[in-house]
């Protein structure tokens, strides 16, 4: 079992990590994958193209953002696990969403991408040994551990699924 981080280095990470219940992070991420894909599979293509308010992302853009964010966070885990010493860059979520054209992709394609990314995240986590799990790297000029990033992935999804549930569905 992967230990929950005892210390969260950055308040931005703490916001997401605090949403995650205690337990084995691999099991939490795996259950999330099933629950999220099952819930979102019932959404129609038409509903996925809608935003809940002017200026907000469409549901397709939210899912694309979740997928891109997990890709970036998984890369950060990989880099830190492999003892990368260079600081890792920030991600401008609005730039990513505005240039990705998620609304041109099918809902099915976006859900398949989200599912695949989670599968890859779980595969990566399973290869990280205990020594690397607590190793710190630098992201956005702040130290961060692999454990914090993994729990942050789960918390980021929990955050967005609450918004989806409350505002889109």
The 3-state secondary structure of the chain, one letter per residue: CCCCCCCCCCHHHHHHHCCCCCCCHHHHHHHHHHHHHHHHHCCCHHHHCCECCCCCCEHHHHHHHHHHHHHHHHHHHHHHHCCCCCCECCCCHHHHHHHHCHHHCCHHHHHHHHHHHHHHHHHHHHHCCHHHHCCEEEECCEEEEHHHHHHHHHHHHHHHHHHHHHHHC
- Is pLDDT larger for residue 102 or for residue 12? 102
- The fold of 11-17+56-168 is 1.20.120
Report whether pLDDT(3) > 80: no
pLDDT value, residue 11: 79
pLDDT value, residue 6: 76
Average pLDDT score over the chain: 95
Report whether pLDDT(9) > 80: no
The band of 83, judged by pLDDT with boundaries at 50, 70 and 90, is: very high
| pTM of this structure | 0.95
């Amino acid at each position: 079992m992967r230990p929950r981080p005892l210390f969260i280095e950055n308040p931005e990470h703490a916001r997401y990590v605090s949403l995650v219940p205690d337990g084995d992070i691999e099991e939490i991420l795996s259950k999330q994958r099933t629950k999220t894909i099952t819930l979102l599979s019932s959404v129609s293509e038409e509903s996925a193209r809608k935003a809940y308010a002017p200026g907000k992302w469409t549901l397709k853009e939210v899912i694309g953002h979740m997928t891109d964010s997990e890709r970036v966070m998984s890369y950060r885990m990989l880099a830190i696990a492999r003892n990368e010493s260079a600081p890792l860059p920030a991600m401008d979520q609005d730039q990513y969403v505005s240039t990705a054209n998620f609304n041109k992709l099918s809902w099915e394609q976006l859900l398949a991408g989200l599912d695949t990314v989670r599968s890859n995240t779980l595969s990566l986590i399973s290869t990280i040994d205990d020594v690397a799990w607590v190793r710190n790297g630098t992201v956005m000029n702040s130290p961060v551990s692999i454990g914090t990033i993994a729990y942050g992935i789960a918390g980021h999804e929990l955050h967005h699924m609450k918004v989806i549930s409350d505002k889109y569905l």
